[in-house]
Structure 1
Amino acid sequence: MLQQVTPIQKPLPSGFTAAATAEDVIAGIDLAGRIAIVTGGYSGLGQEAARVLAQAGARVIVPARDQAKARQRLSSIAGIEVWPMDLADARTIDRFAERFLAERRPLDILMLSAGIMALPELQRDARGLEMQFAINHIGHFALTGRLWQALSAADNARVVALSSRGHRYSPIRFDDLAFARCAYDRWAAYGQSKTANALFALELDRRGRDAGVRAFSVHPGGIVTNLAQHLTQEELRDFGALDAEGRPVIDPGKGWKSVAQGAATQVWCAVHPQLDGLGGLYCEDVDVAGPADGDLANLDPGAPGRGVAEHATDPVAATRLWVVSEALTGLRFPVSR
């Protein structure tokens, strides 16, 4: 077995600021000949990340449940392909991976940017899983597992999972993942799924580093995108995301960012040489994050705070989540040594 080692959560520092954009961090980096897959790549942060990766020369593949919408939004960007896939449907994940593996090409970047947030009522997938956990974590776990052959063939691949400051709202509820016994809470459910993203990156990096696959998780910042579709304007104002006129607040120093600024950290984790030889880290503001500050007992989504909570960097919980995820998906990858 690989030794359990928790990466040190300490800023490098990178030299970038919270106001840096995705174009800032990718400047001077040539991705010609590289292949990237970006889930959620036709909306918000994922679309901006896909755009700058393609602009830097990468071939970018965007899985899409709504292919017509994806093609319409991405039609003006050269180098991006739209392939069908739905993270809530394991069969479509299998078909997507089989299509990619049939090309016998290495996969250099896998950016897990798709997600849903704060569903107002409890929803379940076909397996009975709470939907935020199913899409935000289990669908991405399955996709990564099915693409493992291509990732390990790249010899220097990076997997970037979009977590969130919302991971603070809940650790993994191993005794009740699906809210079968406890009352549903939309923020606890979202928080669990975002903790899962961070723990997945931690354990994937531990298992994959000898095969040349490194993984990172990311808090992009507070950005008003379609992710917030289940929140009212009043809620967004109360959280500090909108000003009195209903316009998105842009204040990177306080964590509120534009889409271009929000996509910067995930692009940095995907391509920047500053992270060569590193992995398993939770990053924010285009740097490695430190330990969490603020009141972790405060579940107010608008409460300030930076850093990563201890429950999202716990290697024991990461291994346990991996075992649970294997059981739920029927996948075993990669074999730890």
Structure 2
Amino acid sequence: MTQFNAKSTTDDVLTGVDLSGQRFLVTGVSAGLGVETARALAAHGADVVGAARDLTKAEGATGAVRDAAKAGGGSFELIQLDLASLASVRAAADALNADGRQFDVVIANAGVMAAPFGKTEDGFETQFGTNHLGHFTFVNRIASLIKDGGRFVSLASSGHRFSDVNLEDPNFDNGDYEPWAAYGRSKTANILFAVEFDRRHKARGVRATALHPGGIHTELARHLDDGAIEALLEQINATAREAGGEEFEFKSIPQGAATSVWAAAVADPAEVGGRYLEDCHVAELADDDGLRAGVRAYAIDPDNAKALWAKSEEMVGERF
């Protein structure tokens, strides 16, 4: 099997891959990685359903996806999904279930990063509510639409290294809010969700995986000023220098989306199921400090994953 790396792009990863007849769902297709993921899949013949909060913005952002679908024999359609509203999440899932067409792969790509303190429509802390609970409810509600032998791909981040989940106080009701800690919690939750989803569905051949796309200049950083980004990069690079490692490099958007399409359409499901990926490979366990390669043990701990699942069900008021 070809070995890909941090520099590989979506087109590198999908070279020679025919996705005709396969159906994919990608959330967050109004910018950045979501648009590129949808474009790459459609270009190789896939039928892609893109979900976005703002359909007008998504329409404007996905012209290249439609062009790729036309040229590659795939198709592309949009659905409305606001992950910060359980009413919107449930309506979107209900519509897909009523339609009844199955998916080979669901990619939970949408998210917010380092947002100022706020609450979702349902009263959850913004990042945990949007990044985790919105996807948790949406994906579980359409789980029966994922074909036997299909896949679920959850976009997490090396930001999971900032913090484990806090199941005692998920909404920061009793503590000072810190944007990066909240982001870390939500990204750890994205990984743990994949771990437990994989355990629950692998008997029918459905495998779930989580991944870090890499550091990319996208709209995800809209809540940060340039100074905050530079300070974070300096902190990351100082830690890397101390450890004798390589300094951080931004990826292009096609490089950033490469691990998503690799996980969705190329990687061996038995190798990536229940695991955390980066740079188109399975990440090593790494509990040292700093924002670097590797996955922290708490993020792939099966008991932690089960506890998060139970807490999430309690928070959204549904059992899956």
The TM-score, its normalising length taken from structure 2, stands at 0.89
| Counterpart residue identity of residue 80, structure 1 | F
Deviation string, structure 1 residues 37-81 (Cα, Å, up to 9, x no partner): 111122111111011011111111111211111011113423221
Give the match for residue 7 of structure 2.
Answer: 19
Aligned match of 1:162: 155
Which secondary structure does the structure 2 equivalent of 1:254 belong to? coil
- Identity percentage over the alignment? 42
Aligned positions of 1:137-286 closer than 5 A: 137-151=132-146, 154-240=147-233, 254-276=248-270, 278-286=272-280
Shift of 1:277: 6.0
Partner of 1:332: 319
Query: Following TM superposition, by how much is the alpha carbon of 1:254 offset from its aligned partner in structure 2, in angstroms?
Result: 3.5
Instruction: Note the C-alpha offset of 1:125.
Output: 1.7
SS of equivalent residue, structure 2 residue 77:
strand
Match of 1:118 in 2: 114
TM-score under structure 1 length normalisation: 0.85
1:259-281 Cα offsets, whole Å, 9 max, x none, are 11011111111111433464011
Query: Structure 1 residue runs of 4+, over 4 Å off?
Result: none
Which region of structure 1 is more displaced relative to structure 2, 83-92 or 194-203? 83-92
- Is contact 2:53-2:80 (8 Å) kept? yes
Q: CA deviation at 1:255?
A: 4.5
Decide whether aligned partners of structure 1 residues 202 and 20 sit closer, same or farther in structure 2, where only a CA change above 3 A counts: same
SS in 2 for 1:19: coil
Q: Is the 8 A contact 1:217 1:282 kept in 2?
A: yes
Q: How far apart in 2 are the matches of 1:40 and 1:174?
A: 26
Q: Which of 13, 30, 54 is equivalent to 2:42?
A: 54
Matches within 5 A, 1:288-307: 288-292=282-286, 294-296=288-290, 304-307=291-294
- CA distance in 2 between counterparts of 1:125 and 1:150 reads 27
| Structure 1, 314-323 or 27-36: larger mean CA deviation | 27-36
Equivalent residue, structure 2, for 1:104:
100
> Could you say if the C-alpha distance between residues 182 and 147 of structure 1 is closer, same or farther in structure 2, counting changes exceeding 3 Å?
same
Counting matched residue pairs gives 301
Which runs of 5 or more structure 2 residues have no equivalent in the other structure? 67-74, 235-245
Contact 2:128 2:183 in 1 (8 A): yes
- Which amino acid in the other structure matches residue 161 of structure 1? S
User: Which shifted more, 48-57 or 324-333?
Assistant: 324-333
Contact 2:233 2:248 in 1 (8 A): no
Tell me, yes or no, if the aligned pair for 1:145 and 1:331 is still in contact at 8 Å: no
Tell me if structure 2 keeps the 8 A contact 1:60–1:80. yes
Counterpart in the other structure of 2:25: 37
- Alpha carbons of structure 1 residues 285 and 317: separation in structure 2 relative to 1, 3 Å: same
Distance 1:163 1:278, change over 3 A: closer
CA contact 1:294–1:306 (8 Å) conserved in 2:
no
Deviation at 1:207, TM superposition (A): 0.5
Amino acid at match of 2:312: S
Q: Deviations over 1:161-185 (max 9, x none)?
A: 1100000111011111110011111
Instruction: Return the letter of the residue paired with 2:141.
Output: R
Match of 2:72 in 1: none
2:91 to 85, 91, 95: 95
Deviation at 1:103, TM superposition (A): 2.4
Relative contact order, higher structure (CA 8 A, sep 6+): 1
- Report the alpha carbon displacement of residue 330 of structure 1 after superposing the two structures with TM: 2.8
> Per residue, is there more helix in 1 or in 2?
2
Q: Which residue of 2 aligns with 1:299?
A: none
2:81 aligned residue: 85
SS in 2 for 1:108: strand
8 Å CA contact 1:145–1:332 kept in 2: the answer is no
Q: What's the offset of the Cα at 1:327?
A: 1.4
Partner residue in 2 for 1:317 = 304
**1:94-137 CA distance string (max 9 Å, x none):** 221222222222111110010001113x1012332111000000
Give 3-state SS (helix, strand or coil) of 2:268's partner: helix
Code of the residue aligned with 2:253 in structure 1: it is V
In structure 2, C-alpha distance between the alignment counterparts of 1:221 and 1:273, rounded to whole Å: 18
In the TM superposition, what whole-angstrom CA distance separates every residue of 1:280-333 from its partner, at most 9, and x where no partner exists? 11000100000126415xxxxxxx511001110111110000001111223333
d(CA) in 2 for partners of 1:126, 1:96: 16
In structure 1, what is the Cα distance between the partners aligned to 2:100 and 2:121? Answer: 31
For structure 1, the 5+ residue unaligned runs are 1-12, 242-251, 297-303
Contact 1:44 1:226 (8 Å CA) reproduced = yes
Amino acid at match of 1:321: L
For residue 156 of structure 1, give the secondary structure of its aligned residue in structure 2.
Answer: strand
Distance 1:255 1:321, change over 3 A: farther
Deviations 1:216-240 (A, max 9, x none): 1000111111000011112222333
